[in-house]
Chain A
Amino acid sequence: MNDSLASSESAPLPAQPVRQRRTIRRDVQLSLTVAFFILSGLVATQVKTQRNIRDSAARASQMQLAELGHWKKEAERLKQANESLQAKLNNLLAASEQESKQAKILATELEKVKMAMGLMPVKGRGLLVTLNDNPKMPKDAPPIEKDLYLVHDWQILQVVNELRSAGAEAIAVNGRRLGVNSYVRCVGLVIRVDDVRIGAPYKIEAIGDPEALRGALEAPGGILDEFRNNTYILSQVTAQEAILLPAIEGTPSFKHAKPAETTDKQEKEP
């Protein structure tokens, strides 16, 4: 400062006009103060702004992180839910398969039972036994002798019995299927099968092995032998390739018989 003042004092020398600087103002303090004030204001604003930007960016990334965590958790949860649902679905599928298997078993069982009860028409090869009254019955013969020319209920029963013992699976008399409760009996002069009158010729159809059935009926000393030797009735046996037997009429009803093997629930019923 001193030295510059000195130089300005020395300026008036005419020999050195070049040294004359333009008017130098030296209000350094005020200028610097103003400049510093404005500059620091700018810096403060800038710092604040930058900090804000950084903070908001950090906050945003933090929020994104949190969101990411949330969605990860959600994905995990959905995955587990999916797995458990898949397991449930598999269980249900297995169960339904089981059920349909059981239903199939039940259906076949039911069919078997129906066949055994004669509740459904059946077909197969078998044997046709025809018994007929002998038309050559003399009119003046005594009643006891006349009986030998006629087919009796017990003869039909014997044939049916023999057929069954030989393994016949289904039997019909004159197209009337015999069920578990069927009977053949004589009422007066007519033979009835389950309340239906039948007349000669008596056709007894049986499904089963034809040879076995025939063998049983026609064995020496068998019932057909006996009919032929001791009576005059006509009997004929023919093997059949295809016999169609109808179902029994009506369903057997049980009023007194009850299932002996019952579940608890049924047992408690009075």
Chain B
Amino acid sequence: MWLPLLGLLVGFALFYFAGAPLADPVVAKYMAVAILAGIDTVIGGIRAHVEDKFDDWVFISGFFINTLLAAGLAWVGDQLGADLVIAAYVVFGKRIFDNLAILRRHLLNYFQKRAPAALEENGLEW
């Protein structure tokens, strides 16, 4: 699992320290939603991986399309005068917390039973 972590660090360092262009304040607002969608997708992917249902096409397409969709929907909401951003915040926030909770239980299960077999017996039917 070190490669994704490396990607995380390198990406952050590259964009933070290597003088990436600052986003426009207007764009920054939509980027926040996009990031939220991205985090949701990534955590969902990890959960799928843990549950052994990971599909990288689903994951990659979900990652890009969800982020773009979230930002686009927020933008459309702004054009209409409806704060769709809040809906995106709520939905993605809830999903992130849900997935994190499930991941936590998987993790607990894993450490309690200490065996993949036990995990299969108890864990996967949440």
Contact = CB atoms under 8 A, between A and B. Distances in A.
**Co-complex (A, B):** yes
Interface of A: 1-4, 22, 24-50, 52-53
Given A32-B42, A41-B15, A53-B28, A46 B35 contact: yes
Contact of B7 (A24, A25, A40, A46): A40
Top 4 A-B pairs, shortest CB-CB distance: A40-B11, A44-B15, A33-B7, A37-B11
B1 A25 contact: no
Interface in B19-46: 20-23, 25, 28, 31-32, 34-35, 38-39, 41-42, 45-46
A49 B25 contact: yes
B120 A31 contact: no
Contacts, number: 127
A39 B15 contact: no
Given A1-B52, A31-B56, A31-B60, A39 B4 contact: no
- The secondary-structure label for the interface of chain B is helix
A25 B56 contact: yes
Contacts of B34: 42
A94 B3 CA distance: 92
A34 B7 contact: yes
Contacts of B14: 41, 44
Contact of A28 (B7, B8, B20, B54): B54
Given A36-B4, A46-B23, A31 B59 contact: yes
A29 B1 contact: yes
Given A32-B45, A32-B59, A46-B35, 12 more contacts: A1-B52, A3-B52, A32-B7, A32-B46, A35-B41, A36-B5, A38-B38, A42-B67, A45-B20, A45-B23, A49-B22, A52-B22
A39 B11 contact: yes
Contacts of A38: 11, 38, 63
